[in-house]
Amino acid sequence: DSGVTQTPKHLITATGQRVTLRCSPRSGDLSVYWYQQSLDQGLQFLIQYYNGEERAKGNILERFSAQQFPDLHSELNLSSLELGDSALYFCASSVEEEGEVGETQYFGPGTRLLVL
């Protein structure tokens, strides 16, 4: 158990719909990262938040958005869903001091999204 929790574990929805994925980081971790794992794209970085502020943005679609709340939990919102959005979405957390590359990211169990 990494200490990172994600809900829900599975999500089945239809095209055009909107869903929210939730993540609680490990106790004491200030950084939250979101990754998408799909068969064709592999594991791709989406976005990072540090202590409530957006820190880095990767290959995140405009239909997707995220935020980190004062209690440090984070939510990833996916809207106007398409079939191609079906994937495993991971949240990870780390302590991350600014400028460090050595902080280990601990992953949650993931949310498996299926868009029909």
Partner 1 sequence: AQKITQTQPGMFVQEKEAVTLDCTYDTSDPSYGLFWYKQPSSGEMIFLIYQGSYDQQNATEGRYSLNFQKARKSANLVISASQLGDSAMYFCAMSVLYNQGGKLIFGQGTELSVKP
Is 2 among the residues that bind partner 1 (CB under 8 A)? yes
* Stretch touching partner 1 by CB under 8 A, among 17-25, 51-59, 60-68, 74-82: 51-59
Q: How is residue 103 annotated by DSSP? A: P
Identify the sign of the CA torsion 9, 79, 4, 109.
positive
Min dist. Cβ of residue 16 to partner 1 (A): 26
Nearer to partner 1, 33 or 64 (CB): 33
Query: What span, in angstroms and rounded, lies between the C-alpha atoms of 99 and 109?
Result: 27
Q: Which residues contact 107 (CB under 8 A, 6 or more apart)?
A: 2, 4, 35, 90, 91, 92
- Write out the residues near partner 1 by the rule CB under 8 A: 2, 31, 33, 35, 42-43, 45, 48, 50, 55-58, 88, 90, 92, 94, 96, 98-110, 112
